[in-house]
Amino acid sequence: MNERLHFADSGEAADLAAFLGRLVHYDRAAAVRLQAGGGALAVFGRPPSFEVLAIRTVRLAAPVLTPLDLTVSAGEFLESVEEAPAAATVPRPVTGPPWTGVLPPRGGWRQLPGLPAPEEMGAAVADAVAEFRARDEALPAQHRTRSERDRIGREIWSRTLGDTELPLRAVHAAQSLGFLRPVRSTVPAAAPRTATAPDAVALLAAGSWLRLRTPYGSVAMRRPGLGGGLGALQVRPVRTPG
């Protein structure tokens, strides 16, 4: 029988379902890696195009007795999430894509300076989207090809944010996944508990990794100039915090 997970409350179940739904929206065949230990479940996904790992941590009603670590279909896991009992059934494991064997380190993170306020990050993404649309519309008909649009997109989204090393595509991913949104001044029990203060949005580094952490989830990627992307990484099946 497949394992049953019980979440801390219905809000945790709803937030998990929203995250899985966004991943499936970008890729109907999306897979997620699940790691449960102690009183939390970490869910890792990789939405196409953004070239980042998305990480969502969910509080559990009670610590798991046996650590869980496997890759499953995001769609099947989404279908099993029930808000009323605040529970979900872990689907059968699947053979995951290469990224599922490549996770950020669990510890050793240090905060980096220079990260703009969330409102400024949102404005930077909006400006980049507007620039892409304007440049796309300005292309002559004979040059309006997928490869040319991809080239423009790579140029824009590879730019770094302010004085940081963080590419704009990571900020775009965080916003698209619902991780960059106003932080509630009073956090109800149903809210994610990865952080509770407005200053919890932070840029962190550990070795060759960067992580944009928000109260609602994180995106992680290799630091520019140290391998880039996710394809050339050493496989290390380790756990990470949300």
Residue-range domain boundaries for the chain: 1-111+177-242
10 Å CB burial of residue 15 (0-12, 13-18, 19+) is buried
* Amino acid 195: pLDDT: 36
* Amino acid 182: pLDDT: 65
Average pLDDT, integer, range 166-189: 78
pLDDT, averaged across the chain = 86
Highest mean pLDDT out of 54-58, 197-201, 226-230: 54-58
pLDDT at position 26 over 70: yes
Collect all residues with Cβ–Cβ distance below 8 Å to 126 and sequence separation of at least 6: none
Average pLDDT, integer, range 81-87: 95
Q: Is 141 left (phi over 0), alpha (psi -120 to 50) or beta?
A: alpha
Q: What is the pLDDT of residues 94-124, one digit of tens each?
A: 998 999 998 999 899 999 999 999 999 999 9
CA distance 176 to 172: 6
Collect all residues with Cβ–Cβ distance below 8 Å to 187 and sequence separation of at least 6: 193, 196, 215
Task: State the pLDDT confidence band at 225, using cuts at 50, 70 and 90.
Answer: low
Q: pTM of the predicted model, to two decimals?
A: 0.83
Average pLDDT, integer, range 40-67: 93
CATH 3.40.1010 correct for 1-111+177-242: no
Average pLDDT, integer, range 115-141: 94
Residue 43: its H or E element:
strand 40-45
Average pLDDT, integer, range 136-142: 92
Task: State the pLDDT confidence band at 200, using cuts at 50, 70 and 90.
Answer: confident
* Amino acid 223: pLDDT: 85
* Amino acid 172: pLDDT: 96
* Amino acid 187: pLDDT: 39
10 Å CB burial of residue 235 (0-12, 13-18, 19+) is exposed
pLDDT at position 173 over 60: yes
CA distances (Å), origin 68, targets 23, 71, 99, 152, 215: 21, 10, 18, 41, 24
Length reported for the chain: 242
Task: State the pLDDT confidence band at 2, using cuts at 50, 70 and 90.
Answer: confident
